[in-house]
Amino acid sequence: MGTVEVAERLAPYDISAVPELRVPDRVEGELVERAATLLTVMPPNQERTTIEQLLAPHEPERGRRAVDALIAAGFAAEDDRGHLRRAG
């Protein structure tokens, strides 16, 4: 799949709606931005572990920290079943 096809597939989603998030120094800002984008374009109520694995498939702690940062920033909320959704 080329870049053009990816751009066309993402066109219906407003990725610009992902605000700039402040993250702690110990968290990689790029991963947090990717997590925010995933929550924006993926169907709602994704399992937290799915997002974490997509972010850092071989380093689960990095993905966990990025998702924790999204939740702490108020961008995402986690329910009691471990599903994430965009907050607000």
CB 32 within 8 A of CB 66: yes
Q: Residue 76: give the domain boundaries.
A: 3-86
User: Does 79 score more than 90 pLDDT?
Assistant: yes
| CA proximity to 48, closest of 74, 83, 80, 76 | 83
pLDDT at 15: 52
Contact criterion met (CB below 8 Å) for 66 and 34: yes
Overall domain count for the chain: 1
Residue 11 CA to its chain's centroid (Å): 18
31: domain CATH number is 1.10.10
Cβ-Cβ contacts under 8 Å for 23 (sequence gap 6 or more): 29, 32, 69, 73
pLDDT, one tens digit per residue, over 49-71 is 999 999 999 999 999 999 999 99
pLDDT in tens, 14-55: 555 555 666 555 668 788 888 988 888 888 899 999 999 999
Mean pLDDT of the chain: 80
